[in-house]
Amino acid sequence: MIVSRLKVLFTLILSVIISLSFTIGSYAEGYSSDYDSTNTSQINNSQEEEEYPLPEFMDMYPSNINETNITTQPTELVQIEQELQPQSQKLKKYVDGYSVNGRLMVPIRKIADTLGLRVKFEGGKLVVEDAATTIEFILNSKKYIVNGTEFTSENETIMLSGQNYVPFSVLAKEMNITYFNNPLYKWIEIVGEKEDVYIYIKPETSMYAYKPKEIAALMYHHFQQESIGDGGTISTTRFKEHLQALKAAGYETITELDFLHYQQGKINLPQKPLMITIDDGYISNYLEAFPILAQEGYKATIYVITNNVGKKPGFSEYMNWEHMKEMVASGVINIQSHTHDLHFQLPKTGTNRGYALVDLLPRVKEDIRLSKKLIEENVGNKVFALAYPYGVYNKDVIKMLEEEGYQLAFSVVQGKNDPKNSTMELKRFIANGKYTGEDLISKIK
C-alpha cells in the first residue's frame, strides 16, 4: 500500500514538473490576445515587477490543494487534477454607499434582503419594516418616523439613479443591525444568514450626481502574480497600483448600462466616470482580478469568448460558468460577449486578426446570437454589449449587432468617449502591464 501511494505521489510530482515546463515554454512563445505588442507608442518601463503575494481576502479563496491533501490523500489529487471551482460557500455582495456630511448613506433596496427587511413606497414615504419596527423615510427630507414618532436625521433621504439612499446610522440603530467597520478597506460588513454584504464608504464625488462630457474606458486581459514582461499580461502588483492610482485621482467605475442610461438622459454619473473592461475570460480574471477589484471598490465587465468557457485551448485555462455566476451575484463583475468563436490566428503572418467579417456575415450573425444565448442562460445577466475580436468590424456588423439586441460595442481604438456619439464604436485605452499608476493616469487625462 505504501509503495503504491509513493508511486502515485511520484507520478503527480513528475506531471507537475512537466506541466510547469510546458507553461514556461508557452509563455516564451506568447499567446493570442487583442494586445498589439508592436505598438511603439506604448511606454517601456524597465523596472522589474515585484512578486505580489495577494493577502487573504476574507477567506474568500482558499486553495483546493493544501498540505493535508498532499500528505494524506494523494489518490484524491489524481482525481482533482487541475480543475478549479469557485471557493465561496457563502455569497458575498458589494454595494456602494456614500459619505455625505460625514454620514454614510446606503441603498436600502440593495441590502434589505440580507437584513430581512421589507421595503415599499407608500403615501409619498419610503417605508422600511420588519416584524417589530416600521421606519418611514420622507424623500428629500431629514425627517423620519419610527413606529409613529417623528425624528430628525443629519442627512436627507435621497434618490440617485433610481435608488433610494437612507442614513445608515438611523437604519442600524432602529433595526438593531450588527455590522463590522473595516477602516483599512473603507467598508462596513453586514453578516447575513445566506449572504454577507460589504458597503463601500465612498466620497461624494463618486455619487451619480454629475454630468461629465467625456468617459474613459480601460482594457485588460490576463493577470498573474508575477509578470512575464508581456504588455498584455499585468502583474497583480501593477493592477492594484493602477486601481489605487485611479482612486487617488478621483475616478469612479461605472457599468456599460450606466453609460447607456446616461446617454439616454435617465441618470447622472460620478464626477470622473471610468469603465474597466477585461477581454477573453481567463481563469486569472476570477482568481486574481476579481478579489482585487472587490477589495478596491471597483467594478468591471469581462467580455467572454463563450466557446472557451471551462477549457484550456492555449496557455491559460478559462473561467467556467460557476465562476461567472458568483462574480455577477457579487455586484462587482458584469459578463458580456467577446463572440463565441470568432478569434483565430492567420497561419501565414502569425498576426492576430478577426474573421473577414464582410465575407462571413451569416456566420457572424449565428456566432453573436449563440454567445448572447449561452451567457444569458448560464449566467443569468442580460447581454447587450460586445467587444469586437481584435477590433475588427464594419457598418454591416454594427447593423447586425443591433438587430440581435446589442446596444453597445467596444473597439481597440484608444481615446475617450463622448456620450453624444454612437455607442457601437466605443474607444478603450490599453492598460499596458508596463504602465505605472502615474503613467496610466497621464494617458487617460
Q: Which domains does the chain have, with CATH numbers?
A: 91-206 (3.30.457.10), 215-444 (3.20.20.370)
HEC letters along 303-333:
EECHHHCCCCCCCCCECCHHHHHHHHHHCCE
Residues 353-359 have a mean pLDDT of: 52
Check: CB of residue 157 under 8 Å from CB of residue 119: no
- 390-442 pLDDT, tens digit per residue, is 888 899 999 999 999 999 999 999 999 999 999 999 999 999 888 999 999 99
Residues 320-339 have a mean pLDDT of: 98
pLDDT of residue 260: 98
Q: Which residues contact 113 (CB under 8 A, 6 or more apart)?
A: none
Portion of the chain with pLDDT greater than 90, in percent? 67
Check: CB of residue 337 under 8 Å from CB of residue 372: yes
Confidence at 357, pLDDT banded by 50, 70, 90? low
pLDDT of residue 194: 84
In sign, the C-alpha dihedral spanning 59, 63, 66, 72 is: positive
What cell was used for 236?
497583480
321-330 vs 361-378: helix axis angle to the nearest 10? 70
pLDDT of residue 218: 99
Rounded Cα distance between 343 and 338, Å, is 9
Check: CB of residue 302 under 8 Å from CB of residue 64: no
Q: How much is the pTM?
A: 0.77
Q: Which residues contact 323 (CB under 8 A, 6 or more apart)?
A: 84, 86, 283, 286
DSSP letters for 253-319: E--HHHHHHHHTTS--B-SSEEEEEEEE-BHHIIIIIHHHHHHHT--EEEEE-GGGTT--SSSS-B-
pLDDT of residue 407: 98
Rounded Cα distance between 130 and 135, Å, is 9
* CA-wise closest residue to 282 among 233, 340, 229: 233
Check: CB of residue 106 under 8 Å from CB of residue 165: yes
Rounded Cα distance between 250 and 234, Å, is 22
Lowest mean pLDDT among 103-117, 332-346, 414-428: 332-346
- 267-314 pLDDT, tens digit per residue, is 999 999 999 999 999 999 999 999 999 999 999 999 999 999 999 988
> What is each CA distance from 297 to 186, 332, 336, in whole angstroms?
9, 8, 20
Check: CB of residue 433 under 8 Å from CB of residue 231: yes
Residues 66-80 have a mean pLDDT of: 31
Identity of residue 79:
Q
Please report where in the chains the cell 489605487 appears, as a residue: 244
Identity of residue 46:
S
> What is each CA distance from 133 to 112, 146, 173, 423, in whole angstroms?
14, 7, 11, 46
Query: What is the three-class DSSP state of 444?
Result: helix
pLDDT of residue 89: 67
Check: CB of residue 98 under 8 Å from CB of residue 118: no
Identity of residue 274:
L
Confidence at 247, pLDDT banded by 50, 70, 90? very high
